[in-house]
A and B are shown apart, each in its own frame.
Chain A
């Protein structure tokens, strides 16, 4: 059973460029989450998918951010016109869904973004 995988693991980009991160969840998981973690802080929720539907977006997710999960499998998170404040680790996670709040969420290793 493979875990959640993310690509790339590290990305350095110039301010104003667009970047895209990919996440492959655990195969039988229908829920997929994106979190952002800055240095010295705990992860913060960004957005959530159930299958291909994006059901919730945090206020942290500005208009420059867009996430997709086109076939209910892998997901992409794109950041347009990156800013230095976007520098963070972007964590993807997945879980099964069952209408409860107690399903264990499994995280990937994260994608580090540095905007210079």
Chain B
């Protein structure tokens, strides 16, 4: 069975600090996709990134960066120079391929609080 673990339940930092959110996954598939979503208090899950299992290049998007390491089954997310607007619950998810469709298996989420 596929599983995603986000061991950090809550993180609280002061604005402008860098913060890393950990994600560890388990899967027997050789082809899979990993995602990060942000969930602000409004409830909507906001897509941040999708990464396929064949692409281990790290990615940077503004203040966001992602470190994918297949050797340790991890897909960590770093926010540089955090801002109060980054406060939200962040979910890591694994795409389970099934008959051409896909189901996302989510971790339990990390609640990130950025204090001014």
Contact = CB atoms under 8 A, between A and B. Distances in A.
A binds B: yes
Interface of A: 3, 31, 33, 35, 40-45, 48, 50, 55-56, 89, 91, 93, 95, 97, 99-110, 112
B42 A109 contact: yes
Interface of B: 4, 31-33, 35, 37, 42-47, 50, 52, 91, 93, 95-109
Contacts of B105: 45
Given A101-B32, A102-B95, A89 B43 contact: yes
Given A101-B96, A101-B97, A107-B37, A56 B45 contact: no
Contact of B45 (A43, A44, A55, A103): A43
Contacts, number: 77
A42 B43 contact: no
B104 A45 contact: yes
Contacts of A106: 47
Given A41-B108, A43-B106, A107 B44 contact: yes
A57 to B, nearest CB: 11
A104 B33 CA distance: 10
7 contacts: A100-B97, A101-B96, A101-B97, A101-B102, A104-B47, A107-B44, A110-B44
A109 B93 CA distance: 18
Contact of A104 (B50, B100, B103): B50
B5 to A, nearest CB: 11
A42 B95 contact: no
A101 B106 contact: no
A98 B100 CA distance: 7
